[in-house]
Amino acid sequence: MTAVPGSPAAVAGIETDDLVEKVAGVSARSLGLWEVEAALSGKAGGRASVLVVREAKPRRRTLEIVRTSWTPSLPSAERVSGELVVKVPAFGAGTADALAGILAPLDRSKALVLDLRGNAFGSWDEAARSAALFGPPGLIGELKGRKIATKSWRAEAGQRVHQGSLVLLVDSGTGGPAELFAAALRESAAKELGIDVAAAVKREEKKGEQAFEDQSPPTPAPSLDRKKLRVRVVGEPTFGMGLTQEVVRLASGGALKITVGKVRTAAGRSLSPRGLEPDDRVFHVQPEEGMAGKPPDPFLERALKIVAELPATPAAAS
């Protein structure tokens, strides 16, 4: 699981990849998803205890979530080792405008690091508007389903405000709109190199059908010399949450949550059930027991190293 940055779960200390063992003292294995949601939901000021298991010591810890209303945090920027790192915690309302404000005074040809770790909340519309700030005009993605109207997201001429190279930091907690954002930027960068992205995606998805049955790891799509890419995805495979769901009420008083549509990139790549495979894989490093100070961040360290390798980009407007 993952906790949206700034949410009550994140404030309580829940981290990406935590496993929920108990909710309010009841084993999560005996609970349906809706029962877990019901136990965690409630009036502001209420509390819910969660026993989680994680790799770091202590492996089991009980956390108390205090229910409260909250608003997803907007993007923020800081300089790390001389490079600008922009944290995008969610694609909630106002994210695209906040990103545009951060980018406005910058050299539009300068490389950036965009940190999308733990970003699994927000709207597809906001993610598409944000992607348009970094890519050329054209199709970003589509939502299709048998019983819903097809919806397309496009970047229009004049929306782009940044031309430079990008490092996109992702992890297993990156999902949904953030996956569309990352995939759209990587596909547009591949097209700039003359890659037939749609053909590459079809080849990879055919290979992946058998691989998925075998539970083998996915391969990057498309396959190319990654060092030539203007956009590099760094970190872990993402969650694979490219779908929309609706709750259908039943006559018995129960309900079903069913998938009504799936999101595909401009090249036709499905974002569910498999997420994005990074161009540069990074693994978590658990801090040594008793280590003082801030734990190492191998994801960010790798991103800062890659920034120096990225190809230079001319500052011409798109």
* CATH number of the domain to which 50 belongs: 2.30.42.10
Q: Indicate if the pLDDT at residue 107 is higher than 90.
A: yes
- Tell me: do 166 and 245 sit in the same domain: yes
For 202-227, what is the mean pLDDT?
A: 60
d(CA 22, CA 29): 8
Residue 228's pLDDT is: 79
pTM of structure: 0.84
- Tell me: do 34 and 118 sit in the same domain: no
Q: Indicate if the pLDDT at residue 288 is higher than 80.
A: no
d(CA 177, CA 275): 11
Q: How high is the mean pLDDT of the chain? A: 87
Does 318 map to a domain? Answer: no
CA proximity to 124, closest of 178, 53, 50, 185: 178
**In this structure, which amino acid lies at residue 295?**
P
- Domain boundary, last residue among 29, 47, 66: 66
CA proximity to 260, closest of 249, 271, 250, 247: 247
Residue 136's pLDDT is: 95
Residue 318's pLDDT is: 45
- Tell me: do 28 and 115 sit in the same domain: no
* 20-59 pLDDT tens trace: 899 888 888 888 777 887 888 888 889 999 999 988 788 8
Give percent of the chain with pLDDT exceeding 70: 89
Containing structural domain, residue 34: 8-66
- Tell me: do 54 and 80 sit in the same domain: no
The more confident residue out of 287 and 40 is: 40
- Tell me: do 103 and 251 sit in the same domain: yes
For 174-187, what is the mean pLDDT?
A: 97
Q: Indicate if the pLDDT at residue 317 is higher than 50.
A: no
Residue 221's pLDDT is: 46
Does 317 map to a domain? Answer: no
Give percent of the chain with pLDDT exceeding 90: 54
- Domain boundary, last residue among 44, 66, 88: 66
- Domain boundary, last residue among 48, 66, 84: 66
